Amino acid sequence: MNEELKKAICEAVKAQQEGCKCDFSIPEVELEHPSNNKFGDLSTNIAMKIGKQQGENPFTIAENLVKQFDSGLGQNDVKGMIKKIEAVKPGFINFYLSNDFFAANIKEILAKKDSFGKSDIGKDQVVVLDYSHPNIAKPIGVHHLITTLIGESIKRTYGFIGAKTIADNFLGDWGTQFGKTIYAFKEWGDRKEVEKDPINELLKLYVRFHEEADKSPELDEKGREEFKKLEEGDKENTELWKWMREESIKELKSVYKRLDVSFDYYNGEAFYNDKTGQIIDALDKKGILETGEGGAKIVDLEKDDLRIALIQKGDGATLYLTRDLAAIKYRTENFKPTQILYVVENAQGLHLAQAFKIAEMADLKNDTELVHVKFGSMRFPEGRMSTRKGKVVFLWDVLEKAKEKALKIVEEKNPDLENKAEVAEIVGVGAVKYAILSHNRVTDISFTWEKILSLDGNSAPYLMYTYARAKSILRKAGEAPKDFKIQSLEKEEESLLKKIYQFSEIVEVAAREYAPSHIATYAYELAQDFNTFYNKVPVLNADKDLKEFRLALVSATSQIIKNSMNLLSIDLPKKM
């Protein structure tokens, strides 16, 4: 509808300017939803843009454009969808959508169901998403929720608008930390104990290494020696590392399954380790590689305010940055993406800016757009989380606590409900997901159990309860009608119709801004409008014609809530 209306506005502008001898080009047509319903359903400031361009009165231009519409020009495919058009000072044009349009929208939702809102605006895009990227040999921490959930939602949203998506989990599976873990395992580990619970036991050994190293700093050198042996292909260390990686991915996949998150590839740092030589050669050929202190290889980015980037240490060891550059080259050559989205914490801004700049200078990215999708860190109220200091909350523990809390509430409020444990899992895990995804991604999150396990107010359980309420109405009615008529509207019905109509726009905005919070906020506002409608307007006891329309409205609302939650990877129970 919006695109058709934009075309119609352009046609009206062309007709109005016909014969104009001035140097004129049509400005970009923008539409917005007025905050006050009395100003219509959609509004444009195109007349003010033209007025500024030509030095004319924008209100007069707006009035003339309205006349073009009234005379039938500029309507085409939007004819019948617009009930009224008006010009208002200082130069806005407001459009009021017709009941026929809203009825057609509801019928389309009921017909398309789960696919309603899908589009092909992204059909020419191939988007690689780099998200989650936990370190192996330790349980995944709750702070990894942010990148994991935002990345998954962006992937689903881009798929929904027709793009081809590739999810690539850049695991932290290489580096000195594994030398430390290997040393700790050899020094203090009991293989039988570790094999019973590999990830948690390896974490204990890693934490112990740092505790001991605080007392005996020479242990750090021992860790580096073990990693050097791993880099050189030492058989024992290589076997230990492979075992740690395999066990880690097993545990990761169990967590991802519970979160309904999936990846196409798990190409971690180790995958790119043998490809870093190509990067060093490429930078050298471009003449951007310099020799720094101690024989280190660097790229000087001072002129770009990005400092000096270290590419290779003096001893020949490569770094995370080198492997990131190798990943850009590999992904660009093998996936041919239009975009690579890095869902990575704000704190890594300089690192990624360096990687993107060097990739551009060395022609590693071709025409691929590299985007840092930034998000705030998760902290305890007293400071940052730290695995090496044992100051971290593990994701699995959070999900278990959320489920326990939800189960208590379910048992209190609906003791006769079947499959209470299954519903508690959906409610608990959904609450944790929504707490992250409804948050503005660029701001930090202070971790408290109360906040992360919230089941009240603007929360997933509120949306789930609304969805379950709508489904209950439909079960009592039998099914929603496929045909209905809209006569006069109560204000609660009108608000709900207008909110439902905005779903497709919200999806596009969420994709464009890489912001799942737009979808979460929209779903919450929709649920609020529905509950106001439910409390004020009878559905099952209404007259036949009204009942049919209102049941269709209930069904459409439940479908849009479901589609919104699917984009956030949040499941919904039909009963609560």
List, in order, residues 6 or more apart from 319 with CB less than 8 Å away: 310, 311, 312, 313
Can you give the pLDDT at residue 77? 63
Can you give the pLDDT at residue 18? 73
pLDDT tens digits for range 46-81: 999 999 988 899 999 999 999 888 776 555 667 678
Spatial separation of the C-alpha atoms in residues 516 and 518, rounded to whole Å: 5
Q: Would you place residue 35 in the very low, low, confident or very high pLDDT band (cuts 50, 70, 90)?
A: confident
Q: Tell me the percentage of the chain whose pLDDT exceeds 90.
A: 77
Strand partners, 164: 126
Helices (H) and strands (E) in the chain, counts: 22, 13
With beta carbons less than 8 A apart as the criterion, state whether 370 and 340 touch: yes
pLDDT tens digits for range 273-326: 999 999 999 999 999 999 999 999 999 999 999 999 999 999 888 899 999 999
Nearest CA to 327 out of 349, 354, 355 is that of: 355
Strand partners, 51: none
Spatial separation of the C-alpha atoms in residues 325 and 297, rounded to whole Å: 14
Q: Say yes or no to pLDDT of 572 above 90.
A: yes
CATH code: domain 395-567 is 1.10.730.10
Say how far residue 374 (Cα) sits from the centre of its chain.
11
Q: What are residue 3's phi and psi, to 5 degrees?
A: -65, -40
Can you give the pLDDT at residue 23? 60
CATH code: domain 2-97 is 3.30.1360.70
Residue written as tokens 């930390």? 177
Is the preceding peptide bond at 90 cis, omega within 30 degrees of 0?
Answer: yes
- Which residue would you say has higher pLDDT here, 249 or 449? 249
pLDDT tens digits for range 148-183: 999 999 999 999 999 999 999 999 999 999 999 999
The domains of the chain are located at: 2-97, 175-261, 395-567
Spatial separation of the C-alpha atoms in residues 507 and 121, rounded to whole Å: 11
pLDDT tens digits for range 402-442: 999 999 988 998 899 989 999 999 999 999 999 999 999 99
Q: Which amino acid is at 85?
A: I
List, in order, residues 6 or more apart from 111 with CB less than 8 Å away: none
First to last CA, the chain: 36
Mean pLDDT of the chain: 92
Q: What are residue 571's phi and psi, to 5 degrees?
A: -80, 160
135 by DSSP, 3-state: which?
A: strand
Spatial separation of the C-alpha atoms in residues 87 and 93, rounded to whole Å: 5
Spatial separation of the C-alpha atoms in residues 51 and 67, rounded to whole Å: 17
pLDDT tens digits for range 212-245: 999 999 999 999 999 999 989 999 999 999 999 9
Tokens of 18: 């016909």
